[in-house]
Amino acid sequence: MRNLFIYLLAGLASFTARAQGTQFIQSLSDQGFENVASVSRGKNLFITYENNLYRFEAKGLANILMQLSEIDLSGYELIHFLLRSKDIPMAVGSVSVEDLRAFNSGLMDRYALAAKMQFSIQVDKIEAYFKEAERLNSSFYKIDIPVGVRLDYLLGDFNDGLQTRTYVNSRVLSTFGQGAEFEFDFLNIVQNDIPGRAISSPVTMKVTQSARFGQNTFLSASLGYLPQGKFGILARFRNYLAEERFYLELIYGINRTGYLDENWIVQNNRNSDAVYQAIFNYRWNKYDTDLKLTYGTFFLNDLGYKFEIQRQFNEVYFSLFYSRTDLKSAGSFNSEEDALIGFSLTVPFGQSKFFKPGRIRARTEDQFYLLYRYSGFSYSGIDINYGNDIFSDIREFYPEVLRKGLMKHLKP
């Protein structure tokens, strides 16, 4: 009789904990997390979600962990998270209920909790659990309007030592299927003292389909008016090895050069070109550093290579590069090989937490980007701008970036 009473009590506690888990999923959805679902398997609770609420992925996860540490999870031993982007599964993280309790009671600090968590970009097994799960708060058919600032500048003109052009850009982003996205980007010039053609006009109007296949392989294909005045198609294929440590990327595109004028009429429509690149990247996790070697054609179809070392500090990226390309290979220039060095800096911009996603939402852009090329008059080795796709913020899902981000954003 006594044993039966104990079993009943344990069963009731487990039922209560599972009910709490269901309420928690609803709460995440109400807060604005999207594509939320949960599944139980024995003493494991699996939660999937997409964060379009916080600018930085680790901050979103930290927020969820802090909420989770405050509810009764007595029926579970392990909680697993499957993080999504454009509804594509990107990374998994696991934490034990015991560690969450210790964190909540102050027995474990944020560094220890983040260090004990398990992360991986291998998602296939856990994604399979959610095949039949009901999703709350779909991210599809919503419109995001990020507004930001961009800056062009020119140094070295003897008539005017520092010439600048400032844009306020407004983008329209909408996901309408798993990995399927529409992007529109309008640049509005608000200040300009750089000579030459410059008009406020659309600079991107494209649809992109991104997908993830087995063995950590990603593919994205964009079609339409691509950034940098290109009309055509651009495809990217990337395969990761040993988690995020290595990747090989192949890029191929066919496009024509031109632009939309202020009346949205295509101008300067010329030169059908094939664009191709091969990229090999090694990730030094201890210091969140990418060592990247690119070979292929660059913005002006100049053939050559570029070596880049990029250090990531959570949301800040600092990059040093050296490139050598043959501008003559592009066919329109007389110069021979041209080498240059430079650096770039990407810093977070605007809100760190956005408004709750709705049918239409205005928000600030995620980042501000500054590029310095030592020889600004050379067109050699300019990077291809791919626009928004699955790779745009993929580094936020890297296991070590999530871990270090949690160390910063978890609060007792």
Partner 1 sequence: MKYILPCCLFVLGILNLKAQSLEGTNGLFKIPSAYVAPDGNSYLGASFYPKGKYELYNNGDRFTGMPTFITLSLYDRIEFMFRYTHQLGQEVNPQTQYFPDRMFTLRYNALKEGRNNPAITIGLHDVSEALGGTTATPWFLATYLVASKTLKTKTLSIAPTVGYAYDLIEANRNQVFNGLFAGVELTYSQLPYITLVGEYDSESFNIALKTTVLGHLHFAVGLLDMRALSGFFTYRFNLSNR
**Which residues of this chain interact with partner 1, rule CB under 8 A?**
155-156, 158-161, 287, 289, 311, 313-314, 316, 318, 320, 322, 324, 338-341, 343, 372, 374-375, 377-378, 404, 407-408
124 Cβ contact partners less than 8 Å away, ≥ 6 residues apart? 214
Q: How far is the CB of 189 from partner 1 (least distance, A)?
A: 24
Q: How far is the CB of 369 from partner 1 (least distance, A)?
A: 16
Token output for 104: 């909540």
One DSSP character per residue, 383-399 reads PPP--SSTTTTGGGGSH
Nearer to partner 1, 161 or 196 (CB): 161
247 burial (CB, 10 Å; 0-12 / 13-18 / 19+) is buried
Nearer to partner 1, 25 or 58 (CB): 58
Q: How far is the CB of 212 from partner 1 (least distance, A)?
A: 29
Token output for 296: 């292929």
Nearer to partner 1, 328 or 356 (CB): 328
Nearer to partner 1, 15 or 372 (CB): 372
Q: How far is the CB of 55 from partner 1 (least distance, A)?
A: 17
CA dihedral 62, 66, 72, 76 (to 10 degrees): 20
Q: How far is the CB of 409 from partner 1 (least distance, A)?
A: 10
Integer Cα distance of 118 and 99 in angstroms = 12
Q: How far is the CB of 406 from partner 1 (least distance, A)?
A: 10
Nearer to partner 1, 93 or 224 (CB): 93
Nearer to partner 1, 7 or 313 (CB): 313
CA distances from 74 to 14, 22, 79, 260 (A): 6, 14, 11, 60
Nearer to partner 1, 151 or 362 (CB): 151
Integer Cα distance of 246 and 316 in angstroms = 21
Nearer to partner 1, 258 or 348 (CB): 348
Identity (one letter) of the amino acid at 128?
Answer: A
Q: How far is the CB of 151 from partner 1 (least distance, A)?
A: 16
Integer Cα distance of 62 and 411 in angstroms = 8
Pairing of strands 78-85, 44-50: parallel
Q: How far is the CB of 287 from partner 1 (least distance, A)?
A: 6
Integer Cα distance of 239 and 213 in angstroms = 9
Integer Cα distance of 208 and 327 in angstroms = 30
Nearer to partner 1, 237 or 305 (CB): 305
Phi, psi (5° rounding) for residue 211?
Answer: -150, 155
Q: Please report, in angstroms and rounded to a whole number, the separation of the first and last CA atoms in the chain.
A: 42
Q: How far is the CB of 336 from partner 1 (least distance, A)?
A: 11
Nearer to partner 1, 11 or 412 (CB): 412
Q: Are 402 and 362 in contact (CB under 8 A)?
A: no
Q: How far is the CB of 312 from partner 1 (least distance, A)?
A: 10
Q: Are 338 and 324 in contact (CB under 8 A)?
A: yes
Q: Are 251 and 384 in contact (CB under 8 A)?
A: yes
If residue 1 lies in a helix (H) or strand (E), which one and from where to where? none
Q: Are 262 and 188 in contact (CB under 8 A)?
A: no
Identity (one letter) of the amino acid at 96?
Answer: S
